[in-house]
């Protein structure tokens, strides 16, 4: 038994992968954090309040987890999806009836998306309730608000992709509000001064047309799968980095 243990653990490959053993020493605890690219987002030691569930509710972390789940399931779904009017809906049907793990992937993606919106709102509520936006974390709160908006937009752009009645009309209703933007929406106040029509207003820019159609589907797809996730990831890193640089999880001052 011991020789087997030695054979497995005392060789070049094992050692190249695992830099430390499993003994619970102060050094190993520290090594676990800064030796791991994922964990080293954390400081080696944190204030106890950061560990208490009753304080943070874990909401920020859960939001990030939801984002990761959405990324993974989203990539799976992208394999089966064509963002065209002819195929999008049929791809949904095939996802349900033919693709391996298609049903569970799509369900997870949809429900994780709703869940992320809920969780991100509760996260904001928690941060407000603990006054965590106060100095020195004012800027990070601002980033958070933008991330909240991006979360809404991620969900919103994803709504159209199945190309069913639900998504189609939700997007129609949503973008019709855009048409009422003052100055740059054709139904908005003062738009006549800029000669704004349904064909050159903000809604046209959003949809790539005067109606929800093939272009809107493609735009939704690209915003949903590439542009907004990219922006979100960048801002998330700023957000996380600032959490640490602004002194970790907020706590009462002496």
Partner 1 sequence: MNPFIEIITQPDNIAIVIMIVMVTFFTIWGFQQAFQNDKLKASGYAVDGELDQDVDTFKPLVRIELIISLVVVLFLSIWSIAVDAPLEEIANPTITPNPAKAPWYFLGLQELLVYFDPWLAGVVLPTLIVVGLMAIPYIDINPKGNGYYTFAERKYAVIIFAFGFFILWLLLIVIGVFDRGPGWLWYWPWEEWDHQRVVFEPTRDLTQVIGIESRSIPGFIIGAIVVIGYYVAGMLLPLRHWRKNNPELLAQLGMIRYNLIMFLFVTMMSVPIKMVLRLVFLVKYVWITPWFNV
Partner 2 sequence: MASENQNTTRLRAQIFAGLSIALLLLSAWVIWDDEFGLRPWKHYQKEYKALKHEKLDKEYQDALRDFKRSGGARRLEMLEKQLAKSEEAFKQKGVHEQYVKLNAQIDDLHAKMALSQKELQMVRGQYLETEYYFTKTQKPEYKKKMDELQRQIDAIDRSNKALIARDEPLMQQISKLTGGMDEIRAEIEAMKKALEERKEKMANNDKAPIEIKQYMIKDTDKADRCVSCHAGIESSAQVSKKQPYTKHPLGFVYLGKHDPGKFGCTFCHRGQGRATTTIEKAHGNVKHFAEPMLKGDMTQTSCLNCHGDIKNLRGAEKIAGNTELVKKYGCYSCHKIPGYEGMGDVGPELTNVGTKVNYSWAVKWLMDPKKYFSTARMPKFFFTQDQAEAIADYLFSMSGTTRHDVDYAANTPNEKLVEKGRSLWSQARCNLCHMTNGKGGNHIKVYAPDLSKVGSKANKTWLFNWIKDPNKYFPGTKMPRFRFTDEEITALVEYVVSEYQDDDAENSYTTQATIPAASIKKGKDLIQQYGCYGCHKIQGMEMVQVAPSLKSQGVTFLRNDEMREKIGTELSSIGSKPVDLLDFGKLKKAIPNDRLSYIKQKLRDPRGFRLGLRMPNFGLSEKEVNELAAVLYGFTDSNVPNRFLVPSRQELDRMAGVPGYKFTGDFAKVIADVKCTNCHSIKGIGADYAPDLSIVGSKLQEGWIRGFLANPDVIRPLMQQMPKLGLSGGVKPAKITMPRFNLGKQKVEDTNRSDVDVVMNYFQQELVTPDIPKDIPTVGDVAMSEQIAQGRKLYDQKGCVSCHQIGTDGGALGPNLTNVGNRLKPGFIFKHLENSRKFKPDIVEPNYGFTERERIFLTNYLMTLKLTAK
Can you give the binding site for partner 2, defined by CB under 8 A?
Answer: 24, 26, 48, 86, 90, 93-94, 96-98, 100-101, 103-104, 164-165
- Specify whether the CB–CB gap between 196 and 183 falls below 8 A: yes
Nearer to partner 1, 6 or 192 (CB): 192
Nearer to partner 1, 187 or 200 (CB): 187
CA atoms of 5 and 199, how far apart (whole Å): 72
CB 90, min distance to partner 2, A: 6
Binding site partner of 251, from partner 2, partner 1, none, Cβ cut-off 5-8 A by kind: partner 1
Nearer to partner 1, 16 or 165 (CB): 165
Measured CA to CA in angstroms, residue 53 lies from 50, 61, 71, 133, 239 at distances of: 8, 11, 26, 19, 20
Measured CA to CA in angstroms, residue 210 lies from 34, 170, 206, 221 at distances of: 53, 16, 9, 18
Binding site partner of 170, from partner 2, partner 1, none, Cβ cut-off 5-8 A by kind: partner 1
Nearer to partner 2, 96 or 192 (CB): 96
CB 238, min distance to partner 1, A: 14
Give the 3-state secondary structure of residue 130: coil
* Sequence-ordered list of residues with C-beta below 8 angstroms from that of 131, at least 6 positions apart, any chain: 250
**String of b and e for 208-226 (b: at least 16 CB within 10 Å)?**
ebeebeeebbebbbebbbe
Binding site partner of 238, from partner 2, partner 1, none, Cβ cut-off 5-8 A by kind: none
Binding site partner of 32, from partner 2, partner 1, none, Cβ cut-off 5-8 A by kind: partner 1
Nearer to partner 1, 134 or 245 (CB): 134
Residue 250 is classified by DSSP as -
Nearer to partner 2, 125 or 169 (CB): 169
- Write out the two tokens for 72: 């993974």
Measured CA to CA in angstroms, residue 145 lies from 89, 120, 150, 152 at distances of: 34, 10, 9, 11
CB 13, min distance to partner 1, A: 24
CB 210, min distance to partner 2, A: 23
CB 60, min distance to partner 2, A: 20
Binding site partner of 84, from partner 2, partner 1, none, Cβ cut-off 5-8 A by kind: none
């Amino acid at each position: 038994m011991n020789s087997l243990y030695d054979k497995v653990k005392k060789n070049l490959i094992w050692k190249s992968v695992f830099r430390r053993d499993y003994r619970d020493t102060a050094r190993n605890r520290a090594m676990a954090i800064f030796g791991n690219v994922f964990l080293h987002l954390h400081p080696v030691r944190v204030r106890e309040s950061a560990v208490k569930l009753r304080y943070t509710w874990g909401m920020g972390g859960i939001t990030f987890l939801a984002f990761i789940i959405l990324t993974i399931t989203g990539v799976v779904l992208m394999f089966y999806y064509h963002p065209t009017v002819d195929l999008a809906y049929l791809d949904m049907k095939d996802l349900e009836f033919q693709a391996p793990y298609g049903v569970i992937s799509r369900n997870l993606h949809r429900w994780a998306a709703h869940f992320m919106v809920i969780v991100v709102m509760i996260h904001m509520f928690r941060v407000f309730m603990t006054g965590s936006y106060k100095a020195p974390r004012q800027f990070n709160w601002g980033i958070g608000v933008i991330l909240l908006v991006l979360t809404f937009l991620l969900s919103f752009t994803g709504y159209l992709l199945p190309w069913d009645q639900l998504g189609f009309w939700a997007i129609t209703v949503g973008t019709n509000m855009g048409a009422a933007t003052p100055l740059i929406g054709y139904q908005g106040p003062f738009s006549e001064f800029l000669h704004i029509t349904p064909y050159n207003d903000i809604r046209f820019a959003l949809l790539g047309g005067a109606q929800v159609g093939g272009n809107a589907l493609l735009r939704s797809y690209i915003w949903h799968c590439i542009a907004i996730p990219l922006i979100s990831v960048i801002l998330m890193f700023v957000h996380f980095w600032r959490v640490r640089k602004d002194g970790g999880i907020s706590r009462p001052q002496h």
